[in-house]
Amino acid sequence: MKTIFEKSNGIDGINLTNEISDISFIPKSFLRNEIGLPQLGELEVMRHYKGLSDLNFCIEKGFYPLGSCTMKYNPKVNELLSNLEGFNIHPATSDTDAQGCLKLMYNLQNALLEITGMDAITLQPSAGAHGEMTGMMIIKKYFDTLKEKRTKVIIPDSAHGTNPASAKMCGFDIVEIKSNSKGQIDIEALKAVLDDDVAAIMMTNPNTLGIFEEQVEKISELMHANGSLLYYDGANFNAIMGYTNPKLMGFDVVHINLHKTFATPHGGGGPGAGPVAVVEKLKEFLPTPVIDFEQGKYYRNYNLKSSIGSVKDFFGNFSVFVKAYAYILMMGKNLKKASKNAVLNANYLKEKLKKYYDLPYDEPCMHEFVLSGEKQKHDNGVSTINIAKALMDKNTHPPTVYFPLIVHEAIMIEPTESETKEKLDEFIGDMIDIAAQCRNNPQVILDSPHTTPVQKIDEVTAARHPDLKFKS
């Protein structure tokens, strides 16, 4: 027994590391004795990051009724597909070597054109707001080409904040119009501001109250008779897929949020994609490249007569395209069913909750609706922000709050199509429970959340004196 150990040269005898450990070729000035990084084993590192991720809330953990954001289920198979080797191409790959990827983009363009009803499209913009800016640049260049000096863009008071911001960035003046008692655009208010200076109206339909603009055809007629264009903010497309489309409603420029309607994940700032589709007469103004197909080859077409230029480099956010395309193919005709269920689920929640919270616009809703916490604030001294935090104790992500701005103490709820009736009933129960606690024991709600890793924070101090440095 002893000899087998004696005979062994031990680990020193294994002569594998010599070549690697010869570092004499590295200049001395580049060598470090200490690197100042924590010395940790793989297990410790894994546990650290897993622990951090466990602190996060995500759709895998619970309900996420974040109005306007469409936090629908993003099929896991999409991740698998977008990670396929052939899709991980170098940004500088030539068209010849990227035929498969270009084909996917081309097919996605066509699918989105069919769904929106529009005539031409760019996949370039990497977010909804980026799409808005692209669309407004197209509108600006269109009027410049006609040598018409139109300086104003009309935007309803219920609009998402990015709408006026995008129009302003493109040099337009914003004219805000008030919504009527039904939460829709007031036609008289629109007529009152419509003049030769108006380039366009930016509309969201259904709007951010979750209400369908019934007068959209009339609005389109008025705008077009005035020589103006209509921009469609398609962030709420989840409500209408397959039922109608922006072309039929009379819009000229449209953006859609792939990361909302077409099941690609978002949050934390991206990546997203906000393709912009236009009617025939605006086709030549699209940003380049657009993906075209000729003589058996897909290619990036940079040759548009009046293009506004390029708004994104290389292939755009390509992995988002793969996921959206996979979703569209998987759903097929069921896209329509997704919208139907999204609308059904929202109306179900609205009807069940309106006895407990104010509902300022009591209309049939589309895929989302907006409650108000005014009653709780007035009667119990509990604000919408407290109700939102109380929901965190129910393993639910808070809804969108304080938006749209025209609803005081707004609580904007979008269940999406992908939740079960059991989950919706559970949420209804939680909201009723919170309303009861507001009445009976408001302090519990005011002190919420109680169960999250970080409890009530001092938001005022955090906003006024942000501490942005990392401390170990």
Strand partners, 294: 297
Q: Select 233 or 419, whichever has its Cβ closest to ligand PLP.
A: 233
**Cβ–Cβ < 8 Å for 74, 266:** no
* Nearer of residues 129 and 390 to ligand PLP, judged by Cβ: 129
Position of minimal CB gap to ligand PLP:
128
Contact with ligand PLP (CB under 6 A) among 160, 367, 394, 397: 160
140 or 160: CB nearest ligand PLP: 160
Taking CA 442 as the corner, what is the angle to CA 436 and CA 444, rounded to the nearest 5 degrees? 100
Taking residues 265 to 284 in sequence order and writing x for each that binds ligand PLP by CB under 6 A, - otherwise, the string is -------x-x----------
Toward ligand PLP, which CB reaches closer, 102 or 410?
410
* DSSP string across 266-327: --TT------EEE-GGGGGGS-S-EEEEETTEEEEE---TT----SS-TT-SHHHHHHHHHH
Rounded to the nearest 5°, which phi and psi values hold at 75?
Answer: -50, 135
Determine, following the binding rule CB under 6 A, whether residue 257 of this chain makes contact with ligand PLP: yes
By C-beta, is 317 or 386 nearer to ligand PLP? Answer: 317
Interface with ligand PLP, residue 401, by CB under 6 A: no
Site track 61-90 with ligand PLP (rule: CB under 6 A), x = hit:
-------x----------------------
The answer to whether 326 and 77 are in contact (CB under 8 A) is yes
Binding of ligand PLP by 162 (CB under 6 A):
yes
Closer by beta carbon to ligand PLP, 198 or else 235? 235
One residue of 109, 204, 261, 264 binding ligand PLP per CB under 6 A: 204
Pick one of 78, 116, 122, 208: the residue that binds ligand PLP (CB under 6 A): 208
Question: Could you say which residues in the range 121-140 bind ligand PLP, by CB under 6 A?
Answer: 127-129
**Helical packing angle, 421-440 and 384-392, nearest 10°:** 130
- Least distance in Å: CB of 472 to ligand PLP? 33
Closest distance of CB 175 from ligand PLP, Å: 18
Integer Cα distance of 388 and 393 in angstroms? 9
Number of residues in contact with ligand PLP, rule: CB under 6 A?
13
In the complex, least distance from residue 14 CB atom to ligand PLP, rounded to whole angstroms = 56
Phi-psi region of 421 (alpha: psi -120 to 50; beta: other; left: phi over 0): alpha
Local structure of residue 154 (DSSP, 8 states): E
Amino acid present at 117: G
Q: Are 306 and 282 in contact (CB under 8 A)?
A: no
φ and ψ of 411, to 5 deg = -130, 105
> What would the x/- binding string for ligand PLP be over residues 9 to 48, using CB under 6 A?
----------------------------------------
Least Cβ distance, residue 63 to ligand PLP (angstroms): 19
Look at residues 209, 212, 207, 160 and name the one whose alpha carbon lies nearest to residue 360.
209
Cβ neighbours of 62 (radius 10 Å):
16
Min CB(133)–ligand PLP separation in Å:
10
Beta carbons of 325 and 108 less than 8 angstroms apart? yes
Q: Which is nearer to ligand PLP, 390 or 414 (CB)?
A: 414
CB atoms under 10 Å from CB of 349, counted, come to 24
Q: State the minimum distance, in angstroms, from the CB of residue 362 to ligand PLP.
A: 21
List residues near ligand PLP by CB under 6 A: 68, 127-129, 160, 162, 204, 208, 233, 235, 257, 272, 274
